[in-house]
Amino acid sequence: MLASASPLIPEMATQEVQLNETLAHLKTESETLKSKLEEERAKLHDVELHQVAEKVEGLGQFVMKTRRTLKGHGNKVLCMDWCKDKRRIVSSSQDGKVIVWDAFTTNKEHAVTMPCTWVMACAYAPSGCAVACGGLDNKCSVYPLSLDKNENLAAKKKSVAMHTNYLSACSFTNSDMQILTSSGDGTCALWDVESGQLLQSFHGHAADVLCLDLAPSETGNTFVSGGCDKKANVWDMRSGQCIQSFETHESDINSVRYYPSGDAFASGSDDATCRLYDLRADREVAIYSKESIIFGVSSVDFSLSGRLLFGGYNDYTINVWDVLKGTRVSILFGHENRVSTLRVSPDGTAFCTGSWDHTLRIWA
């Protein structure tokens, strides 16, 4: 009869005990470090942001209306991005279509049909000469935009990124040459567009990564990502290292966006709140929420000065927040379904929203 449940070979028993001891030791060390981190962060919490902002004048009434409605997608709009020329927009949809619009005239300039549905991510290249997109195909592809309207854009398609799950977000870096992606496979990655080569990968999220944003160029080579693990991580692009991590949201983080100075970033989550994280204090410094707001935030962006934070919500509305005072200054109605994406234009004159109601709206 075999004796007990322990391994038959004595050496293996000893080794296993040793491994378990090491594991326990490491777990204790990580708990200690986590407590230390909380302590250090708490020491710096000497005042609230809205208290520092007490002397700042309050904001008046805002009149913002829909100035343009872009119609043409056959299904939910999932993502959009502005061109640096401040008038063109690229948008992508559940129906597999990617459309480039002139937002001033509402004319469609280009349209591409992707081989997959749910094109969850799209981005305009800094030069304005290409767009990137992807989704359920697990890839990020780049399409050069041709001046010749008759040219078949799909023919020039270049596959750049390959993930092992859906592409949730993509962004060109400072040039057309590199793309940063985030994926349902839990990673982010930096790619060379020309060769399709993986330049750096970023591991650390424990679940799908849903969004990312690059730091303003003056701030250096970092970016922030948010995921289904409720964490927002700040990464060093060169080393691949996670340099800061924030876990205060109570649900998936759908959107992250840097404050214009690069010293902070905002996030929007399924927990119905937007939050502001100060990178130098290394902690959350504001929560933008109301008891009456119970639907998730899909997308956030700042106005040019950073004073206003726009949030697109799953209850079809846009809430406008006073970043410094923490109060809501306006609520905008118009979309007939969830707002899924929101970006302020490069010169700050307007912002664009995309919705599950198949349309995009320009607000000013």
Partner 1 sequence: MSGKMCSSSNSIIQAQKLVDQLRVEANMERFKISLTAADLVQYCQEHRRSDPLLTGIAASSNPFKDKKTCVLL
Please identify which residue in 132, 232, 350, 360 interacts with partner 1, judged by CB under 8 A: 350
Contact status: 33 vs partner 1 (CB under 8 A): yes
Contact flag: residue 45 with partner 1 (CB under 8 A):
yes
Q: Does 58 bind partner 1 (CB under 8 A)?
A: no
Rule CB under 8 A: which of 156-195 touch partner 1? none
Q: Check residue 362 for interaction with partner 1 (CB under 8 A).
A: yes
Among 146, 221, 222, 245, binds partner 1 (CB under 8 A): 245
Asked if 82 touches partner 1 (CB under 8 A), the answer is no
The three state secondary structure string of the chain is CCCCCCCCCHHHHHHHHHHHHHHHHHHHHHHHHHHHHHHHHHHCCCCCHHHHCCCCCCCCCCCCCEEEEECCCCCCEEEEEECCCCCEEEEEECCCEEEEEECCCCEEEEEEECCCCCCCEEEECCCCCEEEEECCCCEEEEEECCCCCCCCHHHHCEEEEECCCCEEEEEECCCCCEEEEEECCCEEEEEECCCCCEEEEEECCCCCEEEEEECCHHHCCEEEEEECCCCEEEEECCCCCEEEEECCCCCCEEEEEECCCCCEEEEEECCCCEEEEECCCCEEEEEECCCCCCCCEEEEEECCCCCEEEEEECCCCEEEEECCCCCEEEEECCCCCCEEEEEECCCCCCEEEEECCCCEEEEC
If one asks whether residue 27 binds partner 1 (CB under 8 A), the answer comes out as yes
**91 versus 141: smaller Cβ distance to partner 1:** 91
Q: Is 129 in the site for partner 1 (CB under 8 A)?
A: no
* Chosen residue from 107, 159, 197, 241 binding partner 1 by CB under 8 A: 241
**Which residues, numbered 252-311, are part of the site for partner 1 (CB under 8 A)?**
259-261, 263-264, 278, 280-283, 285, 303-308
Q: Considering only 19-27, 210-218, 222-230, 334-342, which stretch makes contact with partner 1 by CB under 8 A?
A: 19-27
Binding site for partner 1 (CB under 8 A): 7, 12, 15-16, 19-20, 22-23, 26-27, 29-30, 33-34, 36-37, 40-41, 44-49, 52-53, 56, 59, 62-64, 67-68, 87, 103-104, 204, 241-245, 259-261, 263-264, 278, 280-283, 285, 303-308, 323-324, 344, 347-351, 362, 364
